Chains A and B, each alone.
Chain A
Amino acid sequence: MLQCLDLNIFGLDILQSLLALNGFQVVSSNMGNFLRGTVLTLEITALSVAFGMVLGLIAALLKMSRYKLVALPGSIYIDFFRGTPLFVQILLFYFGILPLVFDANSFQAAVIVCSLNSGAYIAEIVRAGIQAVDRGQMEAARSLGMTNVQAMWHVILPQAYKIVIPPMVNEFIALLKDTSLVAIIGAEELTHQGRILYSVTYEAAWIWGAVALIYLLLTRLLSMLGDYLERRLATE
């Protein structure tokens, strides 16, 4: 009795239930595609963060140099990639710049652009971390006779990395979501899988709902990892 009432009031008649069922079936029978897309999304993100950390560290150190000629390339790089949309960067590099250098496939292009983009953000995180270390640390290291590089490597960076971890996890999460933009150049990550499936089945709510849910799951996992790291470092 109650069930009948529910179905009628909310218009959940048999036809719509069937449609919903169809969407569910589309999603469940294509789990393999979603999974492959997810793996690729993670690969692009992980590679980009890894390269981005190296780029970011270099760019931060360049930008902090007291020599203008050294600092300038760092500044330009950071400003460009933070000051333009990632979407435009993807198009520019995939169609404009990379073809001049080598025949990059969409996966390579995705990793290159996301690394460059993430490197610029990480550079500012690293710079803030380095500057948050007490000035006396550098002075103490230098007064012992360490070079600037030795002091940076053995004294400043080991202290900066703790400060840097929480914002770095945020950057990781932001990048994971941003990689969805590389769907436009056909890198077969999660969003692209959704687009392909949608173009065949038109199950928008089900497909994009599933895609969103997977992203949510991934970002939740990452931020839990971040919380764990933060807690562990706090007790150290």
Chain B
Amino acid sequence: MIKVENLYKSFGPLQVLKGIDCHIAAREVVCIIGPSGSGKSTLLRCVNQLEKADSGKVIIDGVELTSPQTDINKVRQQVGMVFQHFNLFPHRTTLENVTMAPIIIKKMNKAEAGDIAHELLRKVGLSDKDDVHPAQLSGGQKQRVAIARALAMQPKVMLFDEPTSALDPEMVGEVLEVMKNLAQEGMTMMVVTHEMGFAKEVGHRVLFMDEGIIVEQGSPRQIFENPVNSRTQSFLSKVL
């Protein structure tokens, strides 16, 4: 479903990605772990082209995003993204946050978009918050709305960029629960996370990144119980 080939990215003199290769199958949930500054978020942002890679390819569902002929807006409609800081639209209500993209991009009528949005908000446990503005929501609620907003475009792939890192501890669970349900429904997911419990329980595969390369990858059991690389071992010894 997602293919990343030999991806390089620098910010000025700082090389952040040094030749990333990875394939993610449909319905697969891949968790990316690693120390901060290892390039995890940059990799994710390169996948939907919020960052432009210097070289290398990103192919989603057979479409090469890195090719200049590709209509990136079209592809992004099929790639949902959830951000660390939610990035909800503060001038719109919860419901409007979810209906906005389908109405503007897919030219869906208000009623139809509203039906879809209601269904999604119910799914993330926020069916009573339609007319509330984001400022009145808790962090966990905001992130769940953000997930519903991304799902409203009916994406084939979901990218999560540290979705629980900005949350108070007691709200992490409600967001992970929603993500877990999504995974069980068969969504293809790439999740940059510090939640090792989630990676273990929900992830089909775990990638460990450090200093711009994928150091080690494998099943959660392999990575967490029998890490081979010394860098993986030392990272896990600090976080587990």
A interface with B by C-beta (< 8 Å): 134, 136-137, 139-147, 150, 154-155, 158-159
Q: Give me 11 A-to-B residue pairs in the complex whose CB atoms sit less than 8 angstroms apart, sorted by A's number.
A: A136-B85, A139-B87, A140-B89, A142-B73, A143-B50, A144-B77, A144-B150, A145-B77, A145-B105, A145-B153, A146-B105
Partner of A134, one of B74, B87, B104: B87
List B contacts of A134 (CB < 8 A): 87
Partner of A144, one of B90, B91, B153: B153
List B contacts of A155 (CB < 8 A): 89
Identity of the chain B residue whose Cβ is nearest the Cβ of A143 in the assembled complex:
B81
How close is B56's CB to chain A, nearest CB, in angstroms? 20
Complex formed: what's the CA distance from A145 to B81 in Å? 10
List A contacts of B75 (CB < 8 A): 145
The reply to whether B83 and A145 form a contact with Cβ atoms under 8 Å apart is no
The reply to whether B105 and A139 form a contact with Cβ atoms under 8 Å apart is no
List B contacts of A145 (CB < 8 A): 73-78, 101, 105, 153
Report if B118 contacts A (CB, 8 A): no
The reply to whether B79 and A143 form a contact with Cβ atoms under 8 Å apart is yes
List B contacts of A154 (CB < 8 A): 100, 104
List B contacts of A144 (CB < 8 A): 76-77, 80, 100-101, 105, 149-150, 153
Report if B188 contacts A (CB, 8 A): no
> Do A146 and B89 contact each other (CB < 8 Å), given the known contacts A139-B83, A140-B83?
no
Complex formed: what's the CA distance from A141 to B90 in Å? 12
The reply to whether B83 and A146 form a contact with Cβ atoms under 8 Å apart is no
Complex formed: what's the CA distance from A142 to B73 in Å? 7
The reply to whether A146 and B87 form a contact with Cβ atoms under 8 Å apart is no
Report if B232 contacts A (CB, 8 A): no
Q: Mark B41-75, 1 if CB is under 8 A from A, else 0.
A: 00000001010000000000000000000000111
The reply to whether B104 and A146 form a contact with Cβ atoms under 8 Å apart is yes
The reply to whether B104 and A150 form a contact with Cβ atoms under 8 Å apart is yes
Complex formed: what's the CA distance from A144 to B81 in Å? 8
> Do A136 and B87 contact each other (CB < 8 Å), given the known contacts A143-B50, A143-B76?
yes
- Considering the complex, which residues of chain B in the window 130-151 have a beta carbon less than 8 Å from any beta carbon of chain A? 146, 149-150
Partner of A158, one of B73, B85, B91, B104: B91
Identity of the chain A residue whose Cβ is nearest the Cβ of B159 in the assembled complex:
A143
B interface with A by C-beta (< 8 Å): 48, 50, 73-81, 83, 85, 87-91, 100-101, 104-105, 146, 149-150, 153
List B contacts of A150 (CB < 8 A): 104-105
Which one of B75, B101, B105 has the highest number of Cβ atoms from chain A below 10 Å of its Cβ?
B101
> Do A147 and B73 contact each other (CB < 8 Å), given the known contacts A136-B85, A137-B89?
yes
List A contacts of B88 (CB < 8 A): 140
> Do A137 and B76 contact each other (CB < 8 Å), given the known contacts A143-B50, A150-B105, A154-B104?
no
Pick the 5 closest A-B CB pairs, nearest first. A145-B77, A140-B87, A136-B87, A143-B81, A144-B101
Complex formed: what's the CA distance from A154 to B153 in Å? 17
How close is A139's CB to chain B, nearest CB, in angstroms? 6
The reply to whether A137 and B87 form a contact with Cβ atoms under 8 Å apart is yes
How close is A164's CB to chain B, nearest CB, in angstroms? 14
Complex formed: what's the CA distance from A141 to B75 in Å? 14
Partner of A146, one of B73, B90, B91: B73
List A contacts of B85 (CB < 8 A): 136
> Do A159 and B90 contact each other (CB < 8 Å), given the known contacts A136-B83, A143-B81, A144-B76?
yes
List A contacts of B101 (CB < 8 A): 144-146
> Do A143 and B48 contact each other (CB < 8 Å), given the known contacts A134-B87, A136-B85?
yes
How close is A129's CB to chain B, nearest CB, in angstroms? 13
Which one of A134, A137, A143, A144 has the highest number of Cβ atoms from chain B below 10 Å of its Cβ?
A143
How close is A26's CB to chain B, nearest CB, in angstroms? 53
How close is A45's CB to chain B, nearest CB, in angstroms? 29
Complex formed: what's the CA distance from A134 to B73 in Å? 21
List A contacts of B100 (CB < 8 A): 144, 154
List A contacts of B90 (CB < 8 A): 159
List B contacts of A140 (CB < 8 A): 81, 83, 87-89, 146
Complex formed: what's the CA distance from A143 to B78 in Å? 9
Complex formed: what's the CA distance from A154 to B104 in Å? 9
Identity of the chain B residue whose Cβ is nearest the Cβ of A145 in the assembled complex:
B77
How close is B7's CB to chain A, nearest CB, in angstroms? 18
Beyond A140-B81, A143-B83, 13 additional contacts (C-beta under 8 Å) are A134-B87, A137-B87, A137-B89, A140-B83, A142-B76, A143-B79, A143-B80, A143-B81, A144-B80, A144-B150, A145-B76, A145-B77, A146-B73
